[in-house]
Structure 1
């Protein structure tokens, strides 16, 4: 487990790749004080050669000192309003720099280095061992997994690789607090809207045929209970689609799933949600993110982060639980062996008082 983050520093045409197992969840807070402290922080992380795969990387920052460009992404407390507040503050605390969001996550970072983004895509197929040649063999070895009897009839010979995914789609639970995806469809001149539990990448990876099969049994919505974190618009009449997102969840889609959308054209709208709403003909009411609340939460998180942040809290809790279990085991005359090597400490950089104050002032200055 963890909150995996990469930090890439480009200088004089060469790059260094650094890594933290726990850094991604609050990467926006480590960047907020500006390039001086952010680079001190990044250079203190662990040098690595390899990359995590794109789906496993939760945050990254690329510091291009040659072009004075910051390319980054992160969780931002799971709130589009916090993300917007962070981006507004960063443009104040990084004067003279271009601040960009990586909509395809780590794929955008490695692409900036000239690496093929497909090289870090998670595997889309599982190799089948020589002794698991039939569905019966496979089920005996992996009882928790199920193969479709239509695709793999009993007694049939399995292929050398079984495709993984795509993950299925479902309607979002209106009572859940986290954001969902607004999916709108224009068909025969009319627009219908759906509240989807998933990501734009998952929608694209399912392909046109499967997506429209899902929609046949879903209930159209006229109002979303919360601001969406992303959106996909499908114009079935023109066979044209558009996608926007406030998170790094495109992951190279829909380009990598183009074969599943034959003759469709996709437009990438970055985080411009208005592009979708302009095409909805008022079919759905969508609450706007609360930007004032986003700034409040950003300020609260930044203050708390300077005292150690959630990574230190999580690691402290883990070590406390392990210590309690070890003591309980010893009371029973047993001995507990625990490997806590993965609980590597991650903490923010120590800021000078003037750096902390300047960051707090910048947040207040750009607050609406």
Structure 2
């Protein structure tokens, strides 16, 4: 149980690695008040040795604050949809003025590269084992009302139908890419579409005529974010579009469009998360749960890891919160 996070704080030419057992679910709330507040929060978390990173399997989020270069790098598994993500980046643009704010598409490997440590420190065991055979099952069409978790796939094969577009359910972008060129034959006719009424989680464009595959995501794709070629796609050109869904629309040549939701509701969502993850103490919440379970445990076998204590709540300065409130009010008016 937990939402494990790593943090890196860079200052005066040196860096320190920190850990929170509960922090990943609230990384957006921890960053919203700006670099001063975020730096104090990270410094308050448990410092760990520089080689004691989480790995990609256990780390649900991470943030790096470099006060020297004025750079913020982060990712989290816990953003709800495109509105949440875009609202967050919009507000960070106001509360981190003069800073470069980046999403870590490569996950923890981006952090390792930033501070110059061996990427093996953040890779899970699966990265060193033989890859499993690619999935061959037919991809299921997305259910109506669940389009925000869809993945869009477009196929240009030179046929008479032009570009075909699909909205499918899959684990993530890596799930699609791991299927290789056979992906085109694993798309159900029931998933055909020409419009997705939101911005989905990501997408892939296959151009079999020019042997080109392109992808984008609102999440992260580990090594594929920096790769120039993909192991399942020999002889194909790979292009990573980051979160630029507009590139996919252009490549689809009118066969697919996404409806861009209004950003205004994202202000209320961020305000709710500030209260949920910025004001509450997850250590105290967990202690109350374990106390109740201990009282119900007649055999006295309940054991609680000391790592569940590894999270320290901090508070922003009044002027930092005032600046954030102003940014949220402006966003709500959109």
Q: Deviations over 1:180-229 (max 9, x none)?
A: 211111111521222232211222223223x2342367642333354302
2:233 pairs with one of 255, 261, 265: 261
Q: Deviations over 1:109-147 (max 9, x none)?
A: 111122343553323378xxxxxxxxxxxxxxxxxxxxx
2:306 pairs with one of 341, 347, 354: 341
- In structure 1, the gaps of 5 or more residues are 127-160
1:232 touches 1:241 (CA, 8 Å); kept in 2?
yes
Q: Distance in 2 between matches of 1:19 and 1:165?
A: 35
- Which range is displaced more, 107-116 or 165-174? 165-174
1:328 pairs with one of 296, 315, 321: 296
2:114 pairs with one of 112, 115, 121: 112
Q: TM-score, normalised by structure 2?
A: 0.86
Structure 2 residue aligned with 1:182: 152
2:154 touches 2:204 (CA, 8 Å); kept in 1?
yes
Partner of 2:329, secondary structure, is helix
Structure 1 residues 68 and 37 mapped into 2: Cα distance closer, same or farther (>3 Å)? Answer: same
Structure 1 residue aligned with 2:180: 207
Shift in Å, 1:44? 0.7
Shift in Å, 1:40? 0.5
Q: Distance in 2 between matches of 1:325 and 1:168?
A: 44
Structure 1 residue aligned with 2:272: 300
Q: Deviations over 1:66-85 (max 9, x none)?
A: 21111112245322111111
2:155 touches 2:184 (CA, 8 Å); kept in 1?
no
Partner of 1:266, secondary structure, is strand
Q: TM-score, normalised by structure 1?
A: 0.79
Q: Distance in 2 between matches of 1:75 and 1:353?
A: 29
How many residue pairs are counted as aligned between the two chains? Answer: 325
1:205 touches 1:253 (CA, 8 Å); kept in 2?
no
1:305 touches 1:348 (CA, 8 Å); kept in 2?
no
Structure 1 residues 355 and 167 mapped into 2: Cα distance closer, same or farther (>3 Å)? Answer: farther
2:260 pairs with one of 278, 288, 293: 288
Q: Distance in 1 between matches of 2:309 and 2:165?
A: 45
Structure 1 residues 321 and 22 mapped into 2: Cα distance closer, same or farther (>3 Å)? Answer: closer
Structure 2 residue aligned with 1:79: 81
Q: Distance in 2 between matches of 1:206 and 1:336?
A: 45
2:35 touches 2:96 (CA, 8 Å); kept in 1?
yes
1:68 pairs with one of 70, 74, 85: 70
- Which structure has more relative contact order (CA 8 Å, sep 6+)? It is 2
Q: Distance in 1 between matches of 2:306 and 2:136?
A: 35
Partner of 2:321, secondary structure, is helix
- In structure 2, the gaps of 5 or more residues are none
